[in-house]
Amino acid sequence: MPKITIDGRVLEFAPGQTIIQVAQANGIEIPHYCYHPGLSVAGNCRICMVEVEKTPKPQIACYVQATDGMVVHTKSAQATEARAGVMEMLLVNHPLDCPICDQAGECKLQDYAFDFGHPTTRTPVEKTHLPKNVPFGAKIVYDGERCIKCTRCVRFTDEITQTHELSMGARGDKEMVIMTSKGEFTTPYAMNIIDLCPVGALTSKDFRFESRVWFMDFTESVCTGCARGCNVTVGARGGRVLRMTPRENQDVNRWWMCDAGRLGYGHANAPTRLTTPRVRTSARAGEFAEVGWEDAIDAAVEALRDAARGGVLADAGATLEELFLLKAVAGRGDLKYASRVGQDEDGFLIVNEKGANQRGAEALGFARAAAPAPAALLFVERGDAVPKALRDGADPVVAFVTDGADVPPTARVVFPLPTWAERDGLLANVDGIVQPIRRCRAAGPRDLRAPLEVLEEIRLGLDAAATPWTHADVVAAVRGAVAPAGLAVPEVEFAPAAPRTVAAPASRTR
């Protein structure tokens, strides 16, 4: 293997790798704006300049390929002076409106100004003004003054979606991004340009002015909008999910996610969410009393013991562990799952199957519900995933539902179900890749109990001789149960007492 020396470290590289790729592969950070591993190299921002021995001028690390024997300095006086010059130029016309910018706290312009910037401006002339608050379709807002013209957004629509809605317009200090399409994106992946934008020039209408990012909790999880299972970071604050952004996983979603998945967290913040368990108080349907969790569990044990039937109807967004326990509690009857099937599969990320764990459900012996049929247990996170006719036909004894509107009126006991953003568990995606969703501590109503815990207590209540299972025990049992279907369950640690993270996720802007 050829070798390059970066900051005194001798590193092997594969022919064709650029300096920044070799550096990143070895944990050496070289500042960059326009470079992104998923896009072509533009080489226009110049912030990645490094000193290369035996060359007269600094070189851009995102474009120059490593060669055998090359010696690079990323922190020398020549490199840092070059970057300071770039920062000074980029800030000449920048509005410096960080106090009201959504990107503040996770902005590369802020980070590099802190690292390399001049403390004062030397420009005596008035700043050039450009259009601000420009709608780019219904979901994105563009600010021409914050834009550093890195062209990441333009290259995304040219190279990744190939829908070409964006272009650079005008020249010199009047240059800005323009929409070439009339007002709306045709791609369902447009909002990825917000994450790609290294500064606050592209912001999400959905997230705009919702929160300073340093007040939010961030949790690594998975989108449950369809069976692709794009890896995401969920941002939440004060019981509400405020943002989802894609997280890199080269085997699943690379760096991207679709707009529908990104915005598909509304049910987690719905004012109609069920927050306390309920027990039916009379023979008349729909008459419930709110009770404590232990009383509801006792009532559920009694109701299931009395019930002449078993069977489960579950949202295919239920985790492997939840399905396993649903089956253990009421598996004497039919095991059915329900999920939406769309018609928007596009060969990129979006798939028609919307049940996030449909593969997992089938591996555990659940079959798609084709017609209404009775079931002792009902499990519904998203009302639109389990059609009302199926819910009514299930006529469940015990139900787990997220929204008050989905409470089955004839159920004996109803438990509030935390959303995917509030639960730990495993999902098998459309390709059979098993991935964890994780509980976001700042999302959802307070004091909801995990369905896994509730189901385990019910199981123990129904069978006094049963051995108690921990989450790890259930995962081990699931691992054995789904192996014949070709699903490999990875070793995953779920940390109930995970410390709060307030730092912005590094993956937000690569």
Verify binding: residue 60, ligand FES, rule CB under 6 A: yes
Choose which of 48, 147, 338, 428 interacts with ligand FES (CB under 6 A).
48
Among ligand FES, ligand SF4, none, what does residue 450 contact (CB within 5–8 Å per kind)?
none
| Residue 30, both tokens | 């070289």
The interface mask with ligand FES, positions 16-35, x = CB under 6 A, is ----------------xxxx
Verify binding: residue 47, ligand SF4, rule CB under 6 A: no
Calculate the alpha carbon distances from 90 to 93, 142, 203, 216, 459 in Å.
Answer: 7, 17, 19, 29, 63
Verify binding: residue 73, ligand FES, rule CB under 6 A: no
Instruction: Quote the CA–CA distance of 423 and 222 in Å, as a whole number.
Output: 11
Residue 444, Ramachandran bin (φ over 0: left; ψ between -120 and 50: alpha; else beta): left
Which residues lie closer than 8 Å to 495 by C-beta, 6 or more apart?
A: none
Which residues lie closer than 8 Å to 330 by C-beta, 6 or more apart?
A: 304, 310, 311, 312, 375, 376, 377, 398
Among ligand FES, ligand SF4, none, what does residue 35 contact (CB within 5–8 Å per kind)?
ligand FES
Of the ranges 14-22, 79-87, 224-232, 483-491, which one interacts with ligand SF4 (CB under 6 A)? 224-232
Buried b (16+ CB within 10 A) or exposed e, 279-306: bbeeeeeeebeebebeebbbbbbebbee
| Residue 195, both tokens | 């994450």
Of the ranges 8-16, 40-48, 153-161, 306-314, which one interacts with ligand FES (CB under 6 A)? 40-48
Q: Per-residue DSSP letters for 401-450?
A: ESBGGG--TT-SEEEE---GGG--EEEE-TTSBEEEE---TTBSSTTPPP
Verify binding: residue 478, ligand SF4, rule CB under 6 A: no
Verify binding: residue 45, ligand FES, rule CB under 6 A: yes
Choose which of 225, 235, 383, 396 interacts with ligand SF4 (CB under 6 A).
225
Among ligand SF4, ligand FES, none, what does residue 274 contact (CB within 5–8 Å per kind)?
none
Looking at beta carbons only, is 35 or 156 nearer to ligand FES? 35
Verify binding: residue 151, ligand SF4, rule CB under 6 A: yes
Report the nearest approach of ligand FES to the CB of residue 192 (Å). 18
Give the chain's count of helices (H) and strands (E): 12, 23
Report the nearest approach of ligand SF4 to the CB of residue 164 (Å). 14
Choose which of 104, 178, 260, 498 interacts with ligand SF4 (CB under 6 A).
260
Instruction: Quote the CA–CA distance of 146 and 202 in Å, as a whole number.
Output: 9
Residues 158-197 that bind ligand SF4 (CB under 6 A): 177, 196-197
Interface with ligand FES (CB under 6 A), residue total 12
| Residue 280, both tokens | 């039916």
Verify binding: residue 83, ligand SF4, rule CB under 6 A: no
Amino acid identity for residue 109 in this structure: L
Choose which of 6, 39, 46, 296 interacts with ligand FES (CB under 6 A).
46
What is the arrangement of strands in the sheet containing 231-237, beginning at the earlier edge strand? 217-222, 231-237, 240-246
Of the ranges 21-29, 57-65, 206-214, 258-266, which one interacts with ligand SF4 (CB under 6 A)? 258-266
Choose which of 22, 61, 101, 153 interacts with ligand SF4 (CB under 6 A).
153
| Residue 318, both tokens | 């239920």
Contacts with ligand FES, residue ranges (CB under 6 A): 32-35, 43-48, 60, 62
Contacts with ligand SF4, residue ranges (CB under 6 A): 147-153, 177, 196-197, 199, 201-202, 223, 225-226, 228-230, 253, 257-258, 260-261, 349-350
